[in-house]
Amino acid sequence: MTRHAPIVIVPLLALVFAACDSQPSIVSTGPTPAPAAAPPVPNVVGETWNLTGTYAGHTGPAACIQPFDATVVQAPIMVTIRIQRVGESLDVITEHDHYVGTVVAEAYSATDSDTGSWQCGESRFNFRSEGHVSGKFSADGRSLIGEEGVVFRLDSGETITRRWSWAATRQ
């Protein structure tokens, strides 16, 4: 049996090296998130909210992100988020982010940061992102309006920004 092992291993190694050396057929122009160490904050219970988010635009180099066309009507997306308020402390958990901040009267503001990489043409750059959500809760605390914004600072020195408008109701 050991006499046949090299015959099997050599073609297998050739396939592995060929796969590692091949270029992807599609070049992505978006961020590649850093591997997550753990699921987002499982200990934050909070309340479930139905969020309607509408993409409001972006800026950045054309090699990294296609120019935003403000004449194209953006279709809103509907997702659920979790919000936990304890006194003036606030946690907002979205599909991708965990914002931490404060609530003063009805106004809220929270931030988040992350790292990852972004494809710009044939180059890939590491980034550090700084995100924020801010807005106002309704007087009865059952709805909110606001905006989410993220700034991606690429190692190349370029900056990409993205914005969404939010409207949500508590379940």
Domain layout of the chain by residue ranges: 45-170
Alpha-helix residue ranges (DSSP H) falling in the chain: 5-21
Please tell me the least confidently modeled range out of 31-35, 131-135, 148-152, 165-169: 31-35
More confidently predicted of 35 and 129: 129
Task: Compute how many other C-beta atoms are within 10 angstroms of the C-beta atom of residue 55.
Answer: 15
What's the chain's length in residues? 171
pLDDT for 44 equals 65
pLDDT tens digits for range 88-97: 999 999 988 9
Is the pLDDT confidence value at 42 over 80? Answer: no
Q: What is the DSSP-derived secondary structure letter of residue 43?
A: T
Please tell me the least confidently modeled range out of 20-34, 65-79, 121-135, 137-151: 20-34
Task: Measure CA 161 to chain center.
Answer: 12
In angstroms, the CA 104 to CA 142 distance is 16
Global pTM reads: 0.73
pLDDT tens digits for range 51-68: 999 999 999 999 999 999
Type of residue numbered 43:
N
User: Which of 73, 140, 152 is CA-nearest to residue 112?
Assistant: 152
Is the pLDDT confidence value at 119 over 90? Answer: yes
Average pLDDT, the chain: 82
Q: Are 73 and 101 in contact (CB under 8 A)?
A: no
Type of residue numbered 15:
L
Architecture of domain 45-170: Beta Barrel (2.40)
To the nearest whole percent, how much of the chain has pLDDT over 90? 71
